Amino acid sequence: MKNNIELAKQIYEVSHLTGSFKLRSGQIADEYFDKYQFEADPVLLDSIVRQMVALIPSSIDVLAGLELGAISIVTLLSHYSGLPAAFVRKEAKNYGTARLVEGTQINNRKVLIIEDVVTSGGQITISVSQLRQLGAQVDYALCVIDRQEGAADKLLTEGITLLSLFKRSDFS
């Protein structure tokens, strides 16, 4: 297993881009972490997820990956942790089961949100609100990279502690 410094360097080399990028939050950034580059590399993804396992709070019952970027992460994290996975859509589909959450049940369970790269925490906030309405207890979110642009503070106001494998400052 790679150490954190080596892993951060590899993630940076594979996924860090410079230019002008519009983020989900609407903000314009001059740098971007293309999460699909590290998620598409099976060896790198394996190294990332193996280190994330140690960050899972002991009270967690279910891992819930947010569509689309966190699905590969939560699947592998479920495999290594032994915890069941749920897959959270941005909105319930209007066909088939018409569910917002696929996979294991979340009602009356302690759920850990899994995300790839977090900037403002906007999608986490939306998804946590929806999951809580469905009966989940959500107190934590875990991401690969926290861009350190206010998400941790914003999420704390919603009662969610953001845990991260890396922060933007780890890549400086």
Q: What is the pLDDT along the chain (172 residues), one digit of tens a residue?
A: 567 899 999 999 999 999 999 987 788 989 999 999 999 999 999 999 999 999 999 999 999 999 998 999 999 999 999 999 999 998 877 887 778 999 999 999 999 999 999 999 999 999 999 999 999 999 999 999 999 999 999 999 999 999 999 999 999 7
Check: pTM over 0.75? Answer yes or no: yes
Contact (Cβ atoms closer than 8 angstroms) between residue 162 and residue 121: yes
- What does residue 47 show for φ and ψ, rounded to 5 degrees? -65, -40
Rounded to an integer, what distance in angstroms lies between the CA atom of residue 57 and that of residue 11? 24
Gyration radius of the chain's alpha carbons: 15
| Main-chain dihedrals φ then ψ at residue 139, nearest 5 degrees | -120, -10
Token readout for 157 is 């106001």
Extract the annotated binding site: 24, 89-90, 93, 115-123, 147
Classify domain 4-171 by CATH architecture.
3-Layer(aba) Sandwich (3.40)
Binding site residue list for orotate: 119, 147
- Known binding positions for 5-phospho-alpha-D-ribose 1-diphosphate: 24, 89-90, 93, 115-123
| 110 burial type by CB count under 10 A (0-12 exposed, 13-18 middle, 19+ buried) | middle
- Domain ranges for the chain, please list them: 4-171
**Predicted local distance difference test score (pLDDT) of residue 1:** 56
Dihedral sign for Cα 63, 68, 69, 71, please: positive
What is the predicted pLDDT for the residue at 45? Answer: 97
Query: 110-118 and 62-66: which strand pairing?
Result: parallel
* Structure confidence at residue 122 (pLDDT): 93
